[in-house]
Amino acid sequence: MRCARLILGMLLLGVGVSVQADLVPSPGQVDFGYRAVGTTSEPKATTLRNTGGQALSIVSITPATGVYARTGGTCGAPPFTIAAQSSCTLEHTFTPTDVTQFPQTHTVTLAGGSSVAFGLYGQGEVGYLEIFPTSLWFSSVAAGSTSGTLTATMNNIRSVPLVVVQMHTTSVPPGSFVRAGGTCPEPPFEVGGPGGCTVEFAFTPQAVGPASGSLNIMASSGTFVLFLGGDGAPEVPLFGDGFEAVVPVP
């Protein structure tokens, strides 16, 4: 990927130098890097520098389309003139619409028909939660009592942030699993790229036997699941006459 960017930048710069040495775009390719899909970057500038000894007249510049938009700069709208040994700037923003690469080439045409080119490049990305462990299992816990807590970590492994919109716990029987802490705040909240936080759960079996559940995490880039499970044990052993066993006090 880096190699593709370098080759494209070299080709664009090579076109500028060989066709019209007096007008030099800098950089030859503006790299917006990774950007979260649907979000807009800060403007980045391309400088058009007249390195020659006489003014140059710019008659047209390929307009930005799709995910790129021109948002300012000092060059103004064509036609315009760049004085000798002077420069002006073109500013663009990047708003990716998908998880893919977005190369775009722009041609600056001068009076007389010669031209130079510069490029814009960016890549759309979405955050992705990697949950470890993928499930929390509570060994036998007496029905009606509450276990200690177990912890899972939610890591955003991508380079762009995501927003956790909602977290909802389900369990069978109902009420078996309760969130008991961790560093993740209540939704909505942002998980940086890369970054992460933790969730802690306790198990309160409502009956003797297995219980299952899940934490369903709805985020800006999709839905993620932490599985929960445990086994409810009898409350306390009973004597044959039906009375509860008394645990001696030391």
Q: What is the CATH number of the domain that holds 219?
A: 2.60.40.10
Three-state secondary structure call for residue 4: helix
Q: Are residues 140 and 42 in the same domain?
A: no
- The residue-averaged pLDDT of 10-25 equals 57
Q: Is residue 45 part of a domain?
A: yes
How would you write 97-165 as a 3-class SS string?
CCCCEEEEEEEEEECCCCEEEEEEEEEEECCCEEEECCEEEEEEEECCCCCCCEEEEEEECCCCCEEEE
Q: Is residue 40 part of a domain?
A: yes
Q: Are residues 110 and 162 in the same domain?
A: no
Q: How far is CA 196 from CA 16, 109, 161, 167, in A?
A: 45, 48, 10, 15
Q: Tell me the β-bridge partners of 223.
A: 218
Give me the helices (H) in 90-242, please. none
Q: Tell me the β-bridge partners of 125.
A: 36
Q: Report the C-alpha gap between 94 and 64 in whole angstroms.
A: 10
Residue 35's pLDDT is: 96
Q: Are residues 120 and 181 in the same domain?
A: no
**Averaged confidence pLDDT in the chain:** 89
Q: Are residues 13 and 109 in the same domain?
A: yes
pLDDT in tens, 177-224: 999 999 999 999 999 989 999 999 999 999 999 999 999 999 999 999
Number of domains in the chain: 2
Q: Report the C-alpha gap between 23 and 56 in whole angstroms.
A: 8
Closest CA to 106 of 58, 153, 140, 148: 58
Residue 222's pLDDT is: 94
Q: Residue 129 — left, alpha, or beta (φ > 0 → left; ψ -120 to 50 → alpha)?
A: beta
Handedness of CA 14, 18, 20, 23 (dihedral sign): positive
| Domain end call among 75, 100, 125 | 125
Let me know: does 109 contact 60? Beta carbons within 8 Å: yes
Q: Which residues constitute the domain of residue 148?
A: 129-233
Q: Exposed, middle or buried: residue 227 (CB in 10 Å: 0-12, 13-18, 19+)?
A: middle
Residue 235's pLDDT is: 78
pLDDT in tens, 76-95: 999 999 999 999 999 999 99
